[in-house]
Structure formats: C-alpha cells, structure tokens
Amino acid sequence: MSLPARIVTLLVAFAAVVAGAVFIVVHYLGSSLAVVNYSPEASGGVVNVVMQEDPQNSVSSRPDWVSYFVQDPKTKAWVHTTLFQVPANTRVNMTILGYDGCTPLRNNFFSKVQGTIGGGMTVQQFKTVGKPLGAPRRYSVLNSWSNCSVGHTFAIPSLHVYVPMASPNTALFNSSACGASPCTSGPHSVMKFSFMTPKTTGTFRWQCFVPCGGGFLDGNGGPMQTLGFMMGNMEVSA
C-alpha cells in the first residue's frame, strides 16, 4: 500500500472512531428531553411545580416503564420529561400526583420525609380526579414496609431532600388503575411539600429510591437510571 493510501486509511479509521465516540456520547449520555421552565412563573420567592408518576407510560418506546411527567406551567399539559428549571434561593412548592401502586423500599430509611420545610408533607387520597377520599393528612414518615403505602420517592440527594411518594388506595388501584399516560383519571394520591432551592445555580440530580425499574433485583435498571423516567435533573437558574 502506498504512503498516501495508508495515510488516508489511517485518517478514515480515526474519523470513524471519533464519530463513534461522539454518537455514543450524544445518543446515550446526552439528552434531548424538554426542560420545563418554571423560573418565569416564580413570584415572591415562591414557585409551584407539579408532577405526576405513572405505573406505565404510553408515550415512549418503553411502555412498561414507570415514569414521571412534569406539568407545563403555562399550558398545563403533561410533558414526558424529568427535567425542570427553577430559580435559585426560592421556595419550591411541589405537588406530585401518585398514580402508581406500592413497592417496598429497599432501604426503609427513605420512608422518612427529609429536607422539606417543616420536615413533613401532606398526602391526600383520591378515588379519581376530583373525588377525594378524606382530608389531606400530614406525614413525617410514610412507612413503606407496613401498609403498602409507598410507590416511589422524590429525592435530591445533594440537597438532602428525600420524600416518599404515597401510592393510591391498594384495592382501588388493583381494580381501576390508570392505564394510559399521562394519567388524567383513576385512583391516586396527591403529595404536597416544600423545599428551598440553593442560593447557587447548578444542576441537581433527583431520583427514585424504590426499586421500581422492572427486571433488576440487584441494582437500578431501566427507568430507575434513565432521564425522562424515574431519574431527572432540577436545574437551578439565577
């Protein structure tokens, strides 16, 4: 092989390796998920964020994966993403609708509500949208091992925020669980809690600690480790 041919071959091989690496980074590690921006909605140092977690999703190529959805504050439409943006040094009033059934925590310590303002949260059960099953109740611990009561968690480890997500009434869930996502009907729980965003900007990872990702006894699989499902980022802006 002549010298020019060898040089060309070498360059082509090098370019192929670089292209492969770029593809892996962009395709597997990068994210094209939408970021729901709550920052413009903040007022008086407070912003309201609304999310829901569903037993499945009918909007992705992984329909059997449990998933969070984030509500667009302007259109009120549910967006299949786990990325949202909030301002720094702001009180975030979280409302999370829990449509998914219970799964016991691997570490029941995360039954304890931590890092929220006042150290607790309120939970209200609904038979379906608009039909509450009693008044909201305040919890500082929601024991996932006692009453089949926890479906997921919303946790931002770097901010020491850990909140167990109550599951709907078990009997109602087993008979009439929401079957299409984003859920707009069916038994669910509504959790409300607040926490402060840090004074500095940055990206803060949040995750679920319930082993809710199908197929993995040891370790978090599928949706548990995938952005857009049970893993997300809270982007704190200036």
Partner 1 sequence: MAESQAPAAPGAPEKAGPNHGMRIFLIWIVLALVADLLIWFLWYPHLPPGRMTESARHQQFDIAVLGLAAAPVMLFVWTYFGYTLINWRHRDGDDDDGPPLFGHTGIQASWIAGTAVIVLAAFVFGTVELIVPDGAGAGEGPNPVWKPSGSNVLQVQVIGQQWQFTYRYPQFGGMESTQLLLPLNRPVAFHVTSLDVIHSFWAYQLGVKADANPGVDNVAYTTTRQLGGFTVRCSELCGIWHGAMFDSGQVVTPTTFLAWATRTQSIERRQGVLAALPPYALSYDPTVIPQLGQQVVKVAGITGANGYYYPPSDPVAP
Nearest distance from C-beta of residue 94 to partner 1, angstroms: 19
Which strand (E) or helix (H) includes residue 190? strand 188-196
Name the residue among 51, 61, 41, 55 with its Cα closest to residue 81: 51
Site membership for partner 1, residue 121 (CB under 8 A) = no
* The one-letter amino acid at 109: F
Show the binding pattern over residues 183-202: x = contacts partner 1 (CB under 8 A), - = does not. --------------------
Q: Which stretch binds partner 1 (CB under 8 A): 5-13, 82-90, 129-137, 216-224?
A: 216-224
Name the residue among 89, 96, 97, 67 with its Cα closest to residue 181: 67
Phi, psi torsion values for 173, nearest 5 degrees: -65, -40
| Rounded-to-integer distance, Cα 179 and Cα 182, Å | 9
Beta carbon nearer to partner 1, 40 or 63: 63
Nearest distance from C-beta of residue 235 to partner 1, angstroms: 15
Neighbouring C-beta atoms of residue 68, cutoff 10 Å: 28
CB 190 within 8 A of CB 126: yes
Site membership for partner 1, residue 136 (CB under 8 A) = no
Looking at 7-117, which runs of residues are DSSP E strands? 35-37, 46-54, 67-71, 78-79, 83-87, 91-98
Beta carbon nearer to partner 1, 84 or 209: 209
Kindly tell me which residue out of 122, 124, 170, 237 binds partner 1, with binding defined by CB under 8 A: 170
Site membership for partner 1, residue 107 (CB under 8 A) = yes
Kindly tell me which residue out of 91, 127, 192, 205 binds partner 1, with binding defined by CB under 8 A: 205
Nearest distance from C-beta of residue 73 to partner 1, angstroms: 27
Exposure letters 38-49 (e unless 16+ CB within 10 A, then b): bbeebeeeebbb
Site membership for partner 1, residue 157 (CB under 8 A) = yes
List all residues 6 or more positions away from 214 whose beta carbon is below 8 Å from its beta carbon: 64, 65, 221, 222, 223
Q: Which stretch binds partner 1 (CB under 8 A): 71-79, 84-92, 124-132, 139-147?
A: 139-147
Site membership for partner 1, residue 90 (CB under 8 A) = no
Kindly tell me which residue out of 97, 220, 234, 236 binds partner 1, with binding defined by CB under 8 A: 220
Write out the residues near partner 1 by the rule CB under 8 A.
55, 66, 100-104, 106-109, 111-112, 114, 140-141, 143, 145-146, 148, 151-152, 155, 157-158, 160, 162, 167, 170, 173-174, 177, 205, 207, 209-212, 214-222, 224-225, 231
